[in-house]
Amino acid sequence: LSEVSIQLSSLRGQVEVVKIKLASYMEKLDKKRNYEGLLQEKEKELEMLLILERAFGAQGIRSFVFENSLQFLEEKLNYYLDLFGSTVRVNFVFQVLKSTGESKEKFELLFYDGEFTRVFDTFSGGEKKRIELSSFFAIKDLVVAKGGRVFDFVILDEVFDTLDDLSGDTEQQGE
């Protein structure tokens, strides 16, 4: 009987140890479940942030609005260049082709004079003035179109000083 009592006492001790270990494991399991829930929340948050990054990043809404605004600006700029009797055409380029054949996003402003693509500084003073005036009026149209603001009054100083007589007469008649 004393041997059974010893074994019983030993088993009670072992049961207590197992209960303590089980409680510890249950506590760890609860912590694990909490961490898993927190991980799921953070993954959802990350997913939303990635969506927002795409929407408002360089490839998102901002890029879409920017490119559409530049397309509008390009059309208006060329319209005014025509109006001012210029043969120059302006082109906004958003992607360039690399030597590897891949396209790369890059913004370039190209001036085409009917024969060649040129840099702005290589144009005559009169042609530069036409491009500048066309740019001014194109930006004015963009502000009106996008912001609803109307320019009722504009002061331009020495606008026709570098234009030739025929061009100056044409612009003054259009005013």
DSSP state of 85: T
Encode pLDDT of 14-27 as tens digits: 999 999 999 999 99
Encode pLDDT of 2-60 as tens digits: 888 999 999 999 999 999 999 999 999 999 999 999 999 999 999 999 888 877 766 66
For residue 62, CA distances in Å to 47, 56, 68 come to: 20, 6, 10
Reported in sequence order, the residue ranges of 2-102 that DSSP labels E, i.e. its strands, are 89-97
User: In this prediction, what percent of the chain has a pLDDT beyond 90?
Assistant: 41
CB-based burial of residue 58 (10 Å sphere; 0-12 exposed, 13-18 middle, 19+ buried)? exposed
**For residue 173, pLDDT beyond 90:** no
Encode pLDDT of 151-161 as tens digits: 777 787 777 77
Side-chain half-sphere exposure of 130, counting CA atoms within 13 A? 27
Instruction: Calculate the dihedral angle through the C-alpha atoms of 58, 62, 67, 73, rounding to the nearest 10 degrees.
Output: -140
**What's the whole-number average pLDDT of the chain?**
83
Any alpha helices (H) in 57-121, and if so which ranges?
A: 61-83
Q: 150 with 144: CB under 8 angstroms?
A: yes
The band of 82, judged by pLDDT with boundaries at 50, 70 and 90, is very high
Instruction: Calculate the dihedral angle through the C-alpha atoms of 111, 115, 121, 125, rounding to the nearest 10 degrees.
Output: -100
